[in-house]
A = this chain, B = another copy of it.
Amino acid sequence: MSQSLLRELDLASREVNATINSMFTHELEPKAIYDASKHLIHAGGKRLRPFLTLKACEIVGGRRGDALPVAASIELVHNFTIIHDDIMDEDERRRGVPTVHVLWGVPMAIAAGDMLFAKAYEAALRSAGSVSPERLLEIIATITNATISVCEGQASDMLFEERRDVSEEEYLDMVYKKTSAMLEAAAKVGALIGGGSPIQVRKLGDLGRYAGLAYQMIDDILGLTADEKILGKPVGSDIREGKSTILIIHALAHADEDQRRQILSVLGNKEAKADQIGEVTQTIQSLGSIDYAANKAEVFIDKAKAQLSSFPSSSSKDTLIDLCNYIVSRNY
């Protein structure tokens, strides 16, 4: 990551954290649900979604400060979804720390996620002073529709775990709903609060959408190839959970019978050992599936960047291009 992007992300992260913290005052009761709600927020995360909101606001000429409440809203929705996803997927680690349900139990984790979802609307409503009521309703509708997509995507993701014949098209539709729709919304609400035109809102939304698809392709790769400490969760989780990632879909489509049998013997096997995962990773690599996913990521990110062509040169534009480049160059 370039030093300037790192600095920008760090600054945005501090601003968004401060906005979120201002909504979680010390007196709030009962303490357990608020502690559980804030746990993953405090554990870190790159804040890519709210960063996209701030940058989309700036590139259409809006004031960055005006976008902070909706940027916080987007981050709160994201944290709500990951608390619940971790329960559903039985993931025990995230951002390098135990997940919420591991520390507080499933019931409190469900309630903590629900709380963050409601707080996300509270955050968005704090924009009332800096945007027209009509625009604010459009922002709320955008966040709502994206969340409905996330729920549909998460449901598809779970249903796909039971299947071994998920097509690439079905997979990309699921990724759009589960991951991309919220990045699309993040960019759109930033553009909306910044006073962007309908075309600007659409283009920036499309940037977020394509960037989200690229992001997931790289995530699928990193889930198999990254350093576990930096990944913050076990390598190979996707395979153990039986997820048909782009790698698995491509590999199964190109595998011979032996390779297919080997992959299927590990896919969805929650007890699979690290060396079994390693062997399957080698097979996936030898079938060209990692290159295929990396290439798809490049194609998507080029489409994302192309959305910026009609925007005049600006430091915000440069930063958004840097952000796109970073998304496909992440390699931990």
Contact = CB atoms under 8 A, between A and B. Distances in A.
A294 interface: no
B159 A30 contact: yes
Nearest to A147: B118
A299 interface: no
A198 B112 CA distance: 32
A128 B137 contact: yes
A45 B80 CA distance: 28
A107 B141 contact: no
Classify the secondary structure of A's interface with B: helix
Contact of A33 (B115, B118, B140, B151): B151
B151 A115 contact: yes
B121 A144 contact: yes
Contacts of A88: 106-107, 110-111
A32 B121 contact: no
Nearest to A110: B84
A15 interface: no
A119 B155 CA distance: 15
A33 B145 CA distance: 16
B148 A115 contact: yes
The copy count of this chain in the complex is: 2
A121 B121 contact: yes
Interface in A103-141: 106-108, 110-111, 113-115, 117-119, 121-122, 125, 128, 132-134, 136-137, 140-141
B152 A125 contact: no
Contacts of A125: 137, 140-141, 144
Given A33-B155, A152-B33, A158-B108, A84 B114 contact: yes
Contacts of A111: 84, 88, 151, 154-155, 158
Interface in A139-184: 140-141, 144-145, 147-148, 151-152, 154-156, 158-159
Nearest to A154: B111
Interface string A87-101: 111000000000000
A151 B107 CA distance: 11
Given A137-B133, A144-B125, A29 B158 contact: no
A87 B114 contact: no
Given A108-B155, A152-B29, A159-B32, A145 B133 contact: no
Nearest to A114: B151
B152 A30 contact: yes
A237 to B, nearest CB: 15
Contacts of A128: 137
Interface string A8-51: 00000000000000000000111011000000000000000000
The 8 closest A-B pairs by CB, nearest first: A133-B133, A33-B155, A88-B107, A115-B151, A118-B147, A121-B144, A118-B148, A30-B155
Given A114-B154, A122-B145, A133-B133, 5 more contacts: A87-B110, A89-B107, A121-B144, A122-B148, A125-B137
